[in-house]
Amino acid sequence: MLSTRTATSCGVLASQRTSAQILKAFSGLPSSTNFSTRPAYIVVHKLQLSNPHRNFSTTPAPRIKEFFPPPETDNVRETPPAWPHPIYTEEQMNAVTIAHREAKNWSDWVALAAVRVLRTGLDFASGYKHDKAVALSKTDPAAANRKYAMTERKYMIRNIFLESVAGVPGMVAGMLRHLHSMRRMRRDNGWIETLLEESFNERMHLLTFLKMAEPGWFMRLMVLGAQGVFFNAMFVAYLISPRTCHRFVGYLEEEAVMTYTREIKDLEAGKLPLWEKTMAPEIAVKYWNMPEGKRTMRDLLLYIRADEAKHREVNHTLGNLDQRNDPNPYVSTYKDLSKPHPTKGIEHLKPIGWEREDVL
């Protein structure tokens, strides 16, 4: 969702009528503009068919300024991603499904409980009430849709908040394993690269969404607070139990796959009409090597969901291994290449991870 966010320090918005009066005070906005209000800021949405890369902006095209444009230098033409993305086929991405690994021990239960707490906060921040919507739809579908329906704006808030948090664990784990390797003067067995690459991939998800919606000060403040708390919590937790942390990320990615699957279904059902006309930004086209004719918002969500499914598999797999001694199966070379084995792609995707005896 491409939007121009007009921040305002109006204090407490007393009512929707007061909000409407404030919105009417803006001059020069056509009647087709769609307004949304939230505490401490006002969001203005408008479809721009003339420019497929900024579909929900009210800023006139000549005045649009690109959010975080690439730096221009005399000699450097382009800086490609440090980790090229593997190629996904449409068949592989469509095969991604929602899955859940059952908790088997205290470590798993702690990780699952932590994800549920985090999800509660994320649901509150994004206005996401899927469980209540499902329960009400069984008796009154119209009321459920009217009261709990997710919009492009709500989904975008959820996506940005989710990705700003999802990029933290890989960086924390990679950093700690890097320091541990130097401190103990021993090899890491290939874990660091995969963890940092995962963090890089999640950051690319965030940058892609930021090309489509620039957050206001309230959203930035929420992200700042969440990142500060989450980074320090992950830092301490990984020192105590790396296995629990990897299981936690595996469960977190299960939630991410679930969220993107619901977004895709809502988009296909016609519930997100603005996204039907939205094209993937250039940063996404280059990163995922999206082919011509497959660069819509639906295609973008398929790629991101596939990435999350891969992270789900990777972290559940790492959670099954000996954290100190086992090699990373995702950068290892196998003796028998005819047998399915972990790879960087999704050709042998295991939703609940590979068991240790299957890879080692």
pLDDT along the chain (360 residues), means of 10: 42 44 42 42 37 40 53 77 89 95 94 91 74 69 74 89 91 95 91 95 94 84 87 95 96 94 93 92 94 95 97 96 92 87 92 91
Q: What pLDDT is stored for residue 175 in this prediction?
A: 96
* Token pair belonging to 69: 């444009």
Binding site members: 163, 202, 205, 253, 308, 311
Give the predicted TM-score (pTM) of the model.
Answer: 0.78
Q: What pLDDT is stored for residue 121 in this prediction?
A: 78
Give the separation between CA 351 and CA 201, rounded to whole angstroms.
18
Q: What pLDDT is stored for residue 161 in this prediction?
A: 87
Per cent of the chain over pLDDT 90 is 52
Beta bridge partners of 360: none
Q: What pLDDT is stored for residue 220 in this prediction?
A: 85
For the chain, domains (ranges, CATH) are 1-60 (no CATH), 83-359 (1.20.1260.140)
Binding site members for Fe cation: 163, 202, 205, 253, 308, 311
* Token pair belonging to 100: 């859940």
